[in-house]
Chain A
Amino acid sequence: MTCPINGPRPISEFVYGGAFRPMPDPDAANDIQWADYVFNRSGAAAVKIEWWCHSPSTTWFMVERDTARDVILRSFLYSDAAIEGAPK
């Protein structure tokens, strides 16, 4: 896997942090929307944005990965612009 800061490293140096899921506005969301965000996960294979951490440097970053083929499409540091339009 390629860390955006440290470059290509063996997969043993990385920790999976879960799929990226936009958080609903806590003040505006109703209980159903909030419970869905807190408890529910989609296990369907797809191209997903995920959090990963390069553990020796504790660099958290995002990976776009096709979970059906386990192929990493790109990795990048988090920013609103970088994830805009990304698959949810």
Chain B
Amino acid sequence: MTSNRQAGANASALSASTTSLRRSPLQSAITPHHPQWVIIDGMSTAFQFDTKDAERMAALGIADLSFMFRCGLKGPHSVAWLTAQGLPIPQINSWEPLPGGGIIARLGVTEFLIEDSAGDSTAKQLADALKTRPDGVYPVLRQDASFAVTGAFLQTLLRQTCAMNFNVLDLSTRPLALTSMVGVQVLVIPSELNEQPLYRVWFDGTYADYLWQTLLGIAGEHGGGPVGLDCLMQKNAMQQNTRQHNSHHLIPQRSAR
């Protein structure tokens, strides 16, 4: 209980609350690993598994980021509507950072995903605005499971699970890929964190248990495994201190408020 309180205190910058209103699609898969939990934005999230989180992350770590609020929209007027809301419009199959720390990803000609980072509320505001049903703009329910994968053996995992060569993507163009991973349709954004590859993956939550168990099996073969949010944020904070790249838009910031 004490460790849970400490975890909550450490993550207070992430607007932690005491009541879990949302359930991560990965929760039932994660619970057997007995992590310290923290509630962020109404969702229980694994904050730390044990003292070897950093060790596993260096090899091949997987962290649940499903709690990050997101909304989606599509339709022929979606570009014009988002422009009117003051948001940047990425090129097709790419993403742009939002001033508050979130991202906007363009999933096709007229479909978008907007995700908040800690301290950002752009997606929440857009979700509210979409309730008025603007002409030619249609809300898309986004209840994805989402995680971050990082570590020295990440490309090995991708080669085993995806039929796509991510190495040809130019990270400076902020690419995204809609592809399949062990048969599950996924959205993937590749980036780097402290000169290590870090990939964000979004997918239908009903596949969460299957994908988590499958990837964890591969990670375990390489000395990796589940990692908590704390470890990921610490690494992110280190990168921000050295001002490398901009992948901090893809994972929560440790001191967002």
Residue of A nearest to B162 (CB): A10
- In the complex formed, the residue of A with least CB distance to B188 is A56
The complex places the Cα of A54 from the Cα of B177 at a distance, in Å, of 12
Does B107 belong to the interface (CB within 8 Å)?
Answer: yes
B179 contacts across to A, CB distance below 8 A:
6, 9, 13, 56
Q: Is A55's CB within 8 Å of the partner chain B?
A: yes
Q: How far is the CB of A54 from chain B (nearest CB, A)?
A: 7
Contacts of B108 in A (CB 8 A): 5, 57, 59
Does B238 sit at the interface, judged by CB under 8 A? no
Q: Does B180 contact A (CB under 8 A)?
A: yes
B141 at the interface (CB under 8 A from A): no
Chain A: interface residue total (CB-CB under 8 A)? 11
A54 in complex: contacting residue of B92, B178, B186, CB < 8 Å = B178
User: What 1/0 mask marks residues of chain B from 199 to 218 whose CB sits below 8 Å from any chain A CB?
Assistant: 00000000000000000000
Which residues in B have their C-beta under 8 angstroms from that of A59?
108
Which of B109, B177, B178 gathers the greatest number of chain A CB atoms within 10 Å? B178
> What residues of B have a CB within 8 angstroms of the CB of A10 in the complex?
163-164, 180
A12 CA to B180 CA, complexed, in Å: 9
B107 touches A57 (CB 8 A): yes
Bound state CA distance, A59 and B179, in angstroms?
A: 12
Contacts of A5 in B (CB 8 A): 92-93, 108-109
Residues in B173-192 with C-beta less than 8 Å from chain A: 177-180, 185-187
- Least CB distance from A87 to B in Å reads 26
Minimum CB–CB distance for B220 against chain A, Å: 26
Contacts A54-B178, A56-B179, A56-B186; A9 near B163 (Cβ below 8 A): yes
User: A35 vs B93: C-alpha distance in the bound complex, in angstroms?
Assistant: 41
Interface residues of A in 13-52 (CB under 8 A from B): 13
List the B residue with the shortest CB-CB distance to A11. Answer: B163
Write out the residue numbers on chain B whose beta carbons fall within 8 Å of the beta carbon of A12.
163, 180
Which residues of B are in contact with A by a Cβ distance under 8 Å?
92-93, 107-109, 163-164, 177-180, 185-187
25 of the cross-chain contacts (CB-CB < 8 Å) are: A5-B92, A5-B108, A5-B109, A6-B93, A6-B177, A6-B178, A6-B179, A9-B163, A10-B163, A10-B164, A10-B180, A12-B180, A13-B163, A13-B179, A13-B180, A54-B178, A55-B180, A55-B185, A56-B178, A56-B180, A56-B186, A56-B187, A57-B107, A57-B108, A59-B108
